[in-house]
Amino acid sequence: MAVTVSDAPNDQASSENHGHAPQGSLLALCVGTVGVVFGDIGTSPIYAFRETFAGHHPIDPDPLHIKGVLSLVFWSMMIVVTFKYVLTIMKADNKGEGGSLALLALISRKTQGARWTAPIVMLGVFATALFYGDSMITPAMSILGAAEGLKYVSPGFSPYIVPISVVIIAGLFAIQSRGTAKVGQWFGPIMLLYFSTLAGLGLMHMAKMPLIVLDVLNPLNALNFFYVDGFRAFVAMGTVVLAVTGAEALYADMGHFGRKPISYSWLIFVLPALMLNYMGQGAMILTMTPAEAQVAIRDPFFLMVPEMISTPVIFLTIMAAIIASQAVISGAFSLTQQAIQLGFMPRMTIQHTSEKAAGQIYIPAINWGLAVMVLILVLFFQSSSNLAAAYGIAVTGAMFIDTCLISVVLLTLWKWPKWKALPVLAVFFIVDFAYLGANLLKVPDGGWVPLMIGLIIFTLLTTWSRGRALMRERMAESTMPMEIFIKSAAGSAQRVPGTAIFMASTSAGVPSALLHNIKHNRILHERVIILTVQIAEVPYVDEANRASCKTLGEGFYRVVLRYGFLEETDVPAALARVDLCGPPFEMMQTSFFLSRQTLIASKAPGMAIWREKVFAWMLRNAANAMEFFRLPSNRVVELGSQVEI
């Protein structure tokens, strides 16, 4: 594999810009943000309040508990979403990009050689694995929860809720290959209408009990909940956290819209709309008799909708759930591209679905893998209430890891004094521990599903990363210094016209394809290029710093092409702009030589045999290097070799 991750910042890295900065007016970006970023957290009112009272660990819908839960929801949004993500973590961008892998790359780049770097990398990789579990559960939970509202349109829909959800999910994944550019234009307006509807429904019921606002803002109500019902309040946090699922999307999608539009949209529009709806649900229950409240608490979101507008609101809710699912699916594609470029996943076929937007991609393997898992979850759990038991662990785990990563940023990168950093981190860790601990109680009821998915994906990611490192070590042991090879081969081999480009995974030594070529064919081209593609730990590399060339003599050159972890590795396009090593490159006069390694598992120190076999399977199923680097198919020669690890 001829891709390496730059291990240290160099002179070029400091001059790299933010790459694809968000374009458009602040208002347009805010509308786009509402349509993409807040879909997941926006659909939480459908099930979060209900599950806290009527889920697997029900509590009575009396004034003490309702006021306590609503206060917990509000302060969770303030601490987790507003203070932690919007005001703190989102300031730790990697050249404008966010997300666990971008933050991990930033930390790795700035703290090379630190003893604790390896554990931090493992945490970041595990957060990535948990995201895949979340990206499977979110579409299932959101679409199934919204579709359950159809029974309020007509009771006859009840037996068909699961089949309807399956059809919607299948259709959603089927259209991914066409891209989201055209459909995405409607995301913003639809979600604006949806959040406005949430606020309107909440205000309608709050009119009967306006003082509920003071109860929600008062943190003593949350503390009183814990004082009266200590353990039950702790258990309730496992479902209260459903109100903030999707908070990590604010950071992950920062590169698409920028920190300012996301912050403004959250503080001015989304947060008020969500809290108005939650308070409306609470006010509706509090104005009922105890017997009525016990019935209504089983589905307060749909019961708060007036009958005359129930049908359009329910269909609007289903559309919002589809949009929320689309955002998570697109996020999985983007994360996969980052993981491939940073060396944690094997090459996969990546299709660009937009000529204008570089970030709009489609990865067939990820798409259909997610589709199968989402459908299995829907068919296995059958209802959003059952799925709620599995929902939350992946999110709270990722949030806890984000806090670990931001602690490194505050203390090491930003050099905050301990008196300032430790109180902030203490609040974040206490809240994260509480939510994670409460969600661990869900493990027997279905919480094992995202944990199992996360552990499997974590094993695959670390196996691939470790296997690649071992392969490079074994190949380096048998490589020959380039200077010695040139002296011995330049005079003995016949030179033929044209240019030969040998892809090399490292910028030192002789590529195995070059050794095999001279051994079997006994010829050398007039110009021989040793080409290495390096992936920097920044999202984008400035075009001026894309290529570097070193003359080795006798018609040999070593070329390094540098890309960011969000960029497409189009080698011919980059070579067309290189004029540092002889005449311009003409593809019809150029041959690309690739090495294809066949792995032989051995008992040599490295990885366990079973992991070596897993790595060999991943290596066999990796996408062809020719497609990954966009090489012309009629100009590629592959030469194989065997490697033991």
DSSP string, 252-303: HTHHHH-HHHHHHHIIIIIHHHHHHHHHHHHHHHHTS-HHHHHHHTTSHHHH
pLDDT in tens, 260-305: 888 888 999 999 999 999 999 999 998 888 888 888 888 899 888 8
Of 163, 160, 205, the C-alpha closest to 301 is: 205
What local confidence, expressed as pLDDT, does residue 358 receive? 52
Q: Is the pLDDT of residue 195 over 90?
A: yes
Element (H, E) at 428: helix 418-440
Is the Cβ–Cβ distance between 58 and 293 less than 8 Å? no
Token pair, residue 135, equals 């990206």
Tokens at residue 349, please? 């076929």
Higher pLDDT, 254 or 202: 202
Tell me the pairing of strands 494-503 and 361-362.
Answer: unpaired
The per-residue pLDDT for range 2-43, each reduced to its tens digit, is: 445 444 334 333 333 444 555 567 787 788 788 878 888 888
Q: Which of 558, 540, 474 is nearest to 102 (CA)?
A: 540
Contact 592, 631 (CB under 8 A): yes
The angle formed by the CA atoms of residues 570, 573 and 578, to the nearest 5 degrees, is 120
Beta strands in 451-522 (DSSP E): 494-503
Pairing, β 590-600 against β 636-644: parallel
Q: Please say whether the dihedral angle defined by the alpha carbons of residues 405, 411, 416 and 420, taken in this order, is positive or negative.
A: positive
- Stretch 480-486: mean pLDDT: 77
Are the beta carbons of 169 and 143 closer than 8 angstroms? yes
**Which positions ≥6 away from 295 have C-beta within 8 Å?**
none
Write the DSSP string, 18-37: -SS---S-HHHHHHHHHHHT
Phi, psi torsion values for 481, nearest 5 degrees:
-55, 140
Q: Say which CATH topology domain 3-17+28-446 has.
A: Amino acid/polyamine transporter I (1.20.1740)
Token look-up 């029900």 returns 58
Query: What is the per-residue pLDDT for 122?
Result: 83
H-type alpha helices, 37-99: 39-42, 48-54, 63-76
Q: Rounded distance, CA 278 to CA 198, Å?
A: 9
Token representation of residue 247 = 């908070």
Please state the pTM of the whole predicted model: 0.80
**Lowest-pLDDT range of 203-207, 223-227, 248-252, 254-258:** 254-258
Tokens 């032989």 -> residue: 600
Q: In the chain, list all ranges with CATH 1.20.1740.
A: 3-17+28-446
Dihedral sign of CA atoms 606, 607, 609, 611 in order? negative
Q: How far apart are CA 372 and CA 173, in angstroms?
A: 10
Average pLDDT, the chain: 81
Per-residue model confidence as pLDDT tens digits over 141-193? 889 888 888 888 888 888 888 899 999 999 888 888 776 655 666 788 888 99
> In angstroms, what is the C-alpha Rg of the chain?
27
Phi, psi of 595 (to 5 degrees): -95, 130
Q: Does the pLDDT at position 576 exceed 90?
A: no
pLDDT at 480 over 50: yes
Let me know the angle formed at the C-alpha of 220 by 218 and 221, rounded to the nearest 5 degrees.
Answer: 80
Residue 464 CB: number of other CB atoms within 10 A? 22
- The CA distance from 133 to 125, in Å, is 13
